[in-house]
Structure 1
Amino acid sequence: MQPQIHQLLMPEKVIYGQGALAELGTAASAYGTKALIISDPIMLKSGVVEQCAASLQTAAIPSAVYTGVLSEPTHLYVEEALAACRENGCDLIVAVGGGSCLDTAKAVAVMMRNGGFIGDYRRQRFMHAPLPLMAIPTTGGTGSEMTKVAVITDTRNDEKMMISQPELLPRVAIVDPLLTLSCPPHVTAATGIDALTHAVEAYLSRKAHPVTDALALSAVRHISGHLLRAYRGGSDVEARSHMMIGSMLAGAAFSNASVALVHGMSRPIGALFHVPHGISNAMLFPAVLEYSMPEAQGRLADIGKVMNPGLGASALSDAEWANAVIRQIKQWCVEMNVPNLGQWGIDRKRFDGLLGKMAADAIASGSPANHPKVPGAEEIVKLYRVCYEYDFNQ
């Protein structure tokens, strides 16, 4: 039997811990002489953007600022930030915020050195190395600081474009849980479920390997033990720290093993109905796992044992462990007020009319092909219908 060869791609430096943001200037001095800070109005108002600029200034690195990321990232934000980067002569990108800011910044970093349209790079390679990128997440969820993936919406056709290439990896990730203390509960819920989905799908993926398995299961351990604590008490620094570590590990896991069916189905919902990514994942997560049995049963059982360490000595079957995972996720969705698609307010007639496009876009993303049970378009359409009126209480 031919031995399998795997690889692990990660940022060249990860700085993490309470107060890690203070290290930005020192770390940046190795990468550039003038920075573009890419962020959003919330981070600007909170003073975090100013903190970044001040830290850079301690290393004699001046900075310009783009804070136009108002929603999930679009090609328009990329073009605006790209223009700001060129106009200000920046040779370093600093991204601070949620996954939208980080993904926008990834696209800017590569497009500064490569021509064309960002969507072209779904199917062609970047020919030139990007500008150095330093990624600073402020939510415990997307894991974008650890990944070679950017998801950018083409607003011309409401399509989420997933671009995955090594050049998108940040050079440095700065992970400071203190930056997440101001996250409101609904953002904590959305990003926390997103991180858990990353970990679970990385473990279930057909591209998983022993190192990504270790990262994914460790992420599950951190997230499952602290998600509700972070949701209930935003100032719980210990819970926030575990969520940031879990998100970081899950990001590294899925960046190297890929995500699967939940993410494939989630992207069209976000693009067409503007549902935040983490929430759309949560809307789909239990139903997709139920669909995945029994092909995913053994691996879900492994996850169940990590999520429920107190039951370790009990003699449950794989099916019982797997069902415990699904039951737990449903309970969390109820407690964190996650709606189904219908409860979100998506018009049923428009939803039904777009099911064919949604299924086709999901398959085209490539993620469903990594799932333990690979669906066809008709099965995805059926799953969307189930999720529209899914009852998390059952």
Structure 2
Amino acid sequence: MPKKVLASVAFDALCHNIEAYTSRIAQPFTDALSLYAIDLIANNLVDVYNGTAGKDGWEKITLASTIGGMVINTAGVTLAHGMEHPASGLKNIVHGQGLAALTPVIIEASYKGNREKFSKIARIMGGMTAEDCATKIRTLLKKLDLNYTLSDLGIKEEDIPWMAENCMKVSAAGVVNNPVVFSKEEIAEIYRKAL
């Protein structure tokens, strides 16, 4: 698998687990599985990406990815997936790259909706508090050569009204599952911050 593909699909798997864990419809079983999978990715992905992990590292990433699919089946996804789908639909953006551009900005806007859970994610990734979570995600993205903005991916300011409108239409479940539920205007502002 090319490194660029690995980084994108593995970050998508991480997002599945983070979003299921922080979803407003999460439950104890999805929480336990998501935390386990976040830890597997946080502690193995960079080595797998750099080619320094053995078979065990690959197995852990694969297991975490499988868990990600399981937990979103129950707890759903939240705003990062909800906002990314219109972006990739509009500009044919690689899904994991779109998530990379949006996720840290969305976490910064959302962590106050569930400080305890975002703090746990931050601690798994080497931080301490909910405020550290987005920074730790950005650090990981740099190590994976995934530190994109929406502008890097071809999104322009004039695309934002269409994307915000479509986010509300096609990703309504992800919008309402988010720890903080944002209006269309607030979602447009998050898109602007991700440019």
1:285 match: 103
The structure that is strand-richer by fraction is 1
Which of 170, 176, 179 is the matching residue for 1:369? 176
Q: How many residues align structurally?
A: 192
Q: Which runs of 5+ in 2 are unaligned?
A: none
Question: Per chain length, whose mean CA-contact separation is higher, i.e. which structure has more relative contact order (CA < 8 Å, sep 6+)?
Answer: 2
1:163 match: none
Contact 1:234 1:240 in 2 (8 A): no
1:96-115 to structure 2, matched below 5 A, reads none
Which of 204, 217, 227 is the matching residue for 2:45? 227
1:341 match: 150
Deviations 1:156-197 (CA, angstroms, capped at 9, x unpaired): xxxxxxxxxxxxxxxxxxxxxxxxxxx111111111111111
Whether 1:327 aligns to 2:135 is yes
2:13 match: 195
SS of the equivalent of 2:87 reads: helix
The CA RMSD over aligned residues, in Å, is: 1.6
1:121-140 to structure 2, matched below 5 A, reads none
Contact 1:194 1:278 in 2 (8 A): yes
> For the residues of structure 2 that align with 1:303 and 1:334, how far apart are their CA atoms?
18
The structure that is helix-richer by fraction is 2
Aligned letter for 1:230? Answer: V
Contact 1:185 1:234 in 2 (8 A): no
SS of the equivalent of 1:343 reads: coil
User: Are residues 370 and 356 of structure 1, via their aligned partners in 2, closer, same or farther at CA, if it must alter by over 3 Å?
Assistant: same
1:1-394 to structure 2, matched below 5 A, reads 183-233=1-51, 236-308=54-126, 320-338=128-146, 339-344=148-153, 346=154, 351-364=156-169, 365-366=171-172, 367-388=174-195
SS of the equivalent of 1:374 reads: coil
> For the residues of structure 2 that align with 1:385 and 1:283, how far apart are their CA atoms?
11
> For the residues of structure 2 that align with 1:341 and 1:305, how far apart are their CA atoms?
27
Question: How far off is 1:209 after superposition?
Answer: 0.5
Aligned letter for 1:193? Answer: F
> For the residues of structure 2 that align with 1:340 and 1:241, how far apart are their CA atoms?
30
> For the residues of structure 2 that align with 1:372 and 1:271, how far apart are their CA atoms?
25
Contact 1:260 1:368 in 2 (8 A): yes
Deviations 1:244-267 (CA, angstroms, capped at 9, x unpaired): 001111111111100000000000
SS of the equivalent of 2:181 reads: coil
Contact 2:16 2:72 in 1 (8 A): yes
Deviations 1:47-70 (CA, angstroms, capped at 9, x unpaired): xxxxxxxxxxxxxxxxxxxxxxxx
Aligned letter for 1:327? Answer: T
Between Structure 1 and Structure 2, whose CA radius of gyration is higher? 1
Contact 1:209 1:257 in 2 (8 A): yes
> For the residues of structure 2 that align with 1:298 and 1:263, how far apart are their CA atoms?
22
Question: How far off is 1:234 after superposition?
Answer: 7.3
SS of the equivalent of 2:24 reads: coil
**Among the aligned pairs, what percent are the same residue?**
30
SS of the equivalent of 1:302 reads: helix
Q: Which runs of 5+ in 1 are unaligned?
A: 1-182, 312-319, 389-394
